[in-house]
């Protein structure tokens, strides 16, 4: 009880003048020698102290405990279910000189007479009757991922991004294809895979406002924000991916048991959580996802819980805010998130210049989660130490450290395709 009251008091004090407290520059640790010793929550010891030593006990006892902790203390639970989801195919055509078939689809989510739309962009190889696919969000709108004049320009709120000519919060024609480097469609299609993508802001705009995304569908009268243990934006994005999966299961041209979920940066955080709570995804790929994605939180290296809760207070549930600068009191850490995906394949990727995302912490998380993969009779990560840059470890649990900055590149995609084929998702 005293500990609980302490947390409530700390949360009240920190929330009282949060913006002022964090207006000052905070020191971020990028020095490995400054990482304090820490102990990870055990994967194979239950909350009651019982030792877990077989798959059955993991599945029945320990895994639900971990999932419940993430739900109520980190990502937030979903407060209900949709009444229905409507589907409308808006446009169909071809791309890459006929090598790919394009489809644009509107999903309409309906709950208690409230509606919300999200727009999908789908490319499938035209020479296959059924295709495995990569599914993931894009950052600035479907029209930015390809030089394809037929893609609709998003009508949702978009963040200002002068690099792609977005000066206000409205998408513009000039940004068409400006982020195509993150989606090498020709490579993916030639490799036999399709792409399913949607703009993150179609599910929930990435800002501290819960009135213009899918959250509002589930509000009772007078509500303007989720309750303390209910979903933030990361969980909403994960929920959206599951709703897309609901639709994909109805498409004959897609091999629905071979849908690989992929995300970069904050969308990598969402991809891991989506795979953890939805077993229909065949594999999960986290590209530079960092804190509360793949990296160990207790290391407090680069991005931290405190930084996230200050800069992006909408990403996680309100309960999570009490752990700002108190990572050691979290009942979970991110190796447990990856373990929840087992025995399905998972790929964690880092970049040498992306210290913000803590490459070592991402590697260690995959290494620790390998304990659960081993329990399933799967090798897990094939190295006990970080590999040299650009020497990927491909297996059921995969990892690479790419030379370069925080981004997703053609090199990354080449490894993800190799990973998919290695795991017979082809």
Per-residue model confidence as pLDDT tens digits over 124-163: 999 999 999 999 999 999 999 999 999 999 999 999 999 9
pTM given for the model? 0.93
d(CA 277, CA 159): 28
**pLDDT on residue 27:** 86
SS3 of the chain: helix, strand, coil, percent, to 5: 35, 20, 40
* Per-residue pLDDT reduced to its tens digit, 169-178: 999 999 999 9
pLDDT over threshold 50, residue 82 = yes
C-alpha–C-alpha distance, residues 125 and 132, integer Å: 10
Closest to 316 in 3D by CA, of 341, 328, 334: 334
**CATH number of the structural domain 127-422:** 3.40.50.1820
- The pLDDT, as a whole number, for residue 25 is 53
Place of tokens 């877990």: 52
Q: What residue spans of 96-250 are helical by DSSP H?
A: 185-190, 200-203, 233-248
Backbone angles phi, psi at 323, to 5 degrees: -95, 5
Given a cut of 90, is residue 18 above it in pLDDT? Answer: no
Beta bridge partner(s), residue 121: 104, 197
Domain ranges of the chain: 127-422
Using alpha carbons, select from 238, 226, 415, 208 the residue that is nearest to residue 337. Answer: 238
Residues that are catalytic:
265, 406
Backbone angles phi, psi at 168, to 5 degrees: -125, -165
Q: Map residue 122 onto helix, strand or coil.
A: strand
Given a cut of 70, whether residue 319 has pLDDT beyond it is yes
Query: Residue 138 and residue 181: Cα distance in Å, rounded?
Result: 12
Mean per-residue pLDDT for 245-249?
98
- Tens digits of residue pLDDT in 346-372: 999 999 999 999 999 999 999 999 999
- CA 30 to chain centroid, in Å, comes to 24
* Mean residue pLDDT across the chain: 94
Residue in the block written with tokens 């000189």: 97
Sheet strand arrangement including 114-125: 84-95, 100-111, 114-125, 194-199, 131-138, 254-264, 283-287, 346-351, 397-402
């Amino acid at each position: 009880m005293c500990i609980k009251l302490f947390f409530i008091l700390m949360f009240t004090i920190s929330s009282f003048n949060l913006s002022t407290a964090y207006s000052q520059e905070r020191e971020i640790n990028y020095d490995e020698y400054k990482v304090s010793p820490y102990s990870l929550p055990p994967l194979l010891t239950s909350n009651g102290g019982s030792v877990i030593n077989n798959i059955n006990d993991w599945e029945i006892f320990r895994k639900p405990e971990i999932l419940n902790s993430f739900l109520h203390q980190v990502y937030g639970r979903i407060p209900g279910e949709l009444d229905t989801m409507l589907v409308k195919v808006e446009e169909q055509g071809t791309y890459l000189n006929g090598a790919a078939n394009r489809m644009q689809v509107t999903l309409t989510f309906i709950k208690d007479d409230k509606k919300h739309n999200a727009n999908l962009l789908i490319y499938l190889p035209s020479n296959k009757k059924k295709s495995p696919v990569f599914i993931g969000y894009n950052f600035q709108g479907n029209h930015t991922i390809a030089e394809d004049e037929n893609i609709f320009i998003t009508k949702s709120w978009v963040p200002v991004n002068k690099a792609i000519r977005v000066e206000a919060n409205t998408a513009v024609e000039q940004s068409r294809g400006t982020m195509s480097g993150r989606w090498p469609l020709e490579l993916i299609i030639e490799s036999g895979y399709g792409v399913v993508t949607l703009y993150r802001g179609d599910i929930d705009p990435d800002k501290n406002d819960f009135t213009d995304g899918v959250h509002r569908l589930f509000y009772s009268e007078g509500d303007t924000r989720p309750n303390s243990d209910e979903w933030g934006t990361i969980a909403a994005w994960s929920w959206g991916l599951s709703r897309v999966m609901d639709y994909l299961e109805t498409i004959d041209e897609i091999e629905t048991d071979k849908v690989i979920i992929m995300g970069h940066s904050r969308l990598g955080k969402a991809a891991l959580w989506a795979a953890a709570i939805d077993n229909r995804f065949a594999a999960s790929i986290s590209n530079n996802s960092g804190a509360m994605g793949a990296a160990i939180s207790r290391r407090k290296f680069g991005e931290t819980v405190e930084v996230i809760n200050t800069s992006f207070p909408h990403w996680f549930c309100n309960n999570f805010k009490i752990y700002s600068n108190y990572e050691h009191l979290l009942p979970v850490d991110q190796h447990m998130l990856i373990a929840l995906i087992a025995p399905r394949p998972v790929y964690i990727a880092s970049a040498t210049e992306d210290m913000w995302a803590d490459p070592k912490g991402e590697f260690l998380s995959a290494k620790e989660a390998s304990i659960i993969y081993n329990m399933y009779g799967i090798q897990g990560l094939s190295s006990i130490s970080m590999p040299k840059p650009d020497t990927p470890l491909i297996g059921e649990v995969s990892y690479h450290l790419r030379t370069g900055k925080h981004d997703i590149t053609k090199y990354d995609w080449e490894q993800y395709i190799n990973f998919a084929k290695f795991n017979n998702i082809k």
